[in-house]
C-alpha cells in the first residue's frame, strides 16, 4: 500500500508561507503584490481555473486584476492589453489563460509578456534560464511536483527519474528540474520503444501524457514514487489521471491522487512566483 501524497495539504502550506511573507512585505513597503489574469472567450475549464486563481490571490493577500475579453478579440487587441499590463507597476505578474481562440498566436502573446512578469515561466528567456539553472521563476506544475516529491522526504539525487511526456509546459522543464537535483533523467514519449521496460527502471516516475489510466501496474517498479500530472475526464464524467491508480497504488511507495494531488500545487506555485516577481520588481529580494 502506497502512502498518499496530499496535494491539498502541501499547497495549503505553500500558500500560508506566501501569505505570511506578503503580510510582512506589505507592512514594510506599503505595496501589495498584484496578479493580472487575462481570459479570452468563454472556455468553461478556463473560467474555473481563473476563478480558482482569483480565490488564491484573496487567500494570500494579493491584488487580483481580471480581464475578460470576448471570443472574437484580435491578436492586436490582446497584445495591446499585454503591453499596458507590462508597464503597470501595480501588476507584478501577468498570466494569459490558455488556450486562446484560433485567431490568436499564443507564442506571440507569451513572447510579448515581460520576462520579469512572466509568472508562468513560458517566456523563452525564462525557459533558457531554467535550462542553465539560473532562474527566478519555474513553470508552476513542474515546480509543484518538486514540492510534492520533497514532502515525501525521498532524496532525488542519484535516483533514476523517468518523465513520460515532452511538452514545453510540463515534460521538458520537469526533466530539467530533476536533473538540477542530480536525478538521472530519462524522457519518454510516443516514439519511445518498449516504454514499459524504461518506466520499470524508475525510482521516481512522473506521468504527464494526457491519456486516462495510461500507466498500468506492469510499467511501475515496486516501491517507486509515482507522480500523476494527468487530468482526464472519463465518459461517466469522473476525473482520473494518467496513472491507473487502483492498479499502481499497491506497488508504489508514494503516489499522488487525482484529483487532489498535483492540481492544487499549480496555483500555489503561481502565488509563489508572483511574490518572487513582486520582490524583484521592488528590490525587496
Strand partners, 255: 4, 226
Which of 56, 83, 15, 136 lies closest to 67, judged by CA? Answer: 83
C-alpha span between 245 and 228 (Å, rounded): 9
Residues 6+ apart with CB under 8 A from 80: none
Tell me if residue 9 is catalytic. no
Considering only CA atoms, which of 219, 220, 215, 243 is closest in space to residue 231? 243
Identified catalytic residue from 15, 53, 117, 159: 53
CA separation for the pair 87, 167 (Å, rounded): 30
| Closest among 245, 18, 232 to 140, alpha carbons compared | 18
Q: Which of 120, 203, 242, 244 is catalytic?
A: 120
**Annotated active-site residue in 15, 97, 117, 251:** 97
C-alpha cell at 15: 500558500
Q: How many residues make up the chain in this entry?
A: 285
Is residue 53 flagged as an active site residue?
A: yes
Phi then psi for residue 165, to 5 deg, are 125, 140
97 in catalytic set: yes
| Beta pairing class for 160-164 and 204-207 | parallel
CA atoms of 208 and 215, how far apart (whole Å): 10
Query: Which of 150, 167, 141 lies closest to 267 in space, CA to CA?
Result: 141
Catalytic residue numbers read: 53, 97, 120
Amino acid at each position: 500500500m502506497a502512502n498518499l501524497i496530499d496535494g491539498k495539504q502541501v499547497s495549503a502550506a505553500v500558500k500560508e508561507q506566501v501569505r505570511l511573507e506578503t503580510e510582512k512585505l506589505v507592512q514594510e513597503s506599503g505595496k501589495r503584490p498584484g496578479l493580472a489574469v487575462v481570459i479570452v472567450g468563454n472556455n468553461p475549464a478556463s473560467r474555473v481555473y481563473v476563478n480558482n486563481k482569483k480565490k488564491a490571490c484573496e487567500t494570500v493577500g494579493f491584488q487580483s486584476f481580471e480581464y475578460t475579453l470576448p471570443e472574437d478579440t484580435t491578436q492586436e487587441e490582446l497584445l495591446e492589453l499585454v503591453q499596458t499590463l507590462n508597464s503597470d507597476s501595480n501588476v507584478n505578474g501577468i498570466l494569459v489563460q490558455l488556450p486562446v481562440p484560433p485567431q490568436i498566436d499564443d507564442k506571440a502573446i507569451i513572447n510579448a509578456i515581460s520576462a520579469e512578469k512572466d509568472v508562468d515561466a513560458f517566456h523563452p528567456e525564462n525557459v533558457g534560464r531554467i535550462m542553465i539553472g539560473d532562474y527566478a521563476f519555474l513553470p508552476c506544475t513542474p515546480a509543484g511536483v518538486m514540492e510534492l516529491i520533497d514532502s515525501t522526504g525521498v532524496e532525488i539525487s542519484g535516483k533514476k527519474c523517468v518523465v513520460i511526456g515532452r511538452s514545453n509546459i510540463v515534460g521538458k522543464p520537469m526533466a530539467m528540474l530533476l536533473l538540477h537535483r542530480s536525478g538521472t533523467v530519462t524522457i519518454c514519449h510516443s516514439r519511445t520503444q518498449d516504454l514499459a521496460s524504461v518506466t520499470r527502471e524508475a525510482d521516481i516516475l512522473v506521468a504527464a501524457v494526457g491519456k486516462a489510466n495510461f500507466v498500468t501496474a506492469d510499467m511501475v517498479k515496486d516501491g517507486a514514487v509515482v507522480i500523476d500530472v494527468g487530468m482526464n475526464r472519463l465518459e461517466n464524467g469522473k476525473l482520473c489521471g494518467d496513472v491507473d491508480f487502483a492498479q499502481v497504488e499497491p506497488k508504489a511507495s508514494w503516489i499522488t491522487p487525482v484529483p487532489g494531488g498535483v492540481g492544487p500545487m499549480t496555483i500555489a506555485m503561481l502565488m509563489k512566483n508572483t511574490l518572487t516577481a513582486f520582490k524583484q520588481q521592488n528590490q525587496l529580494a
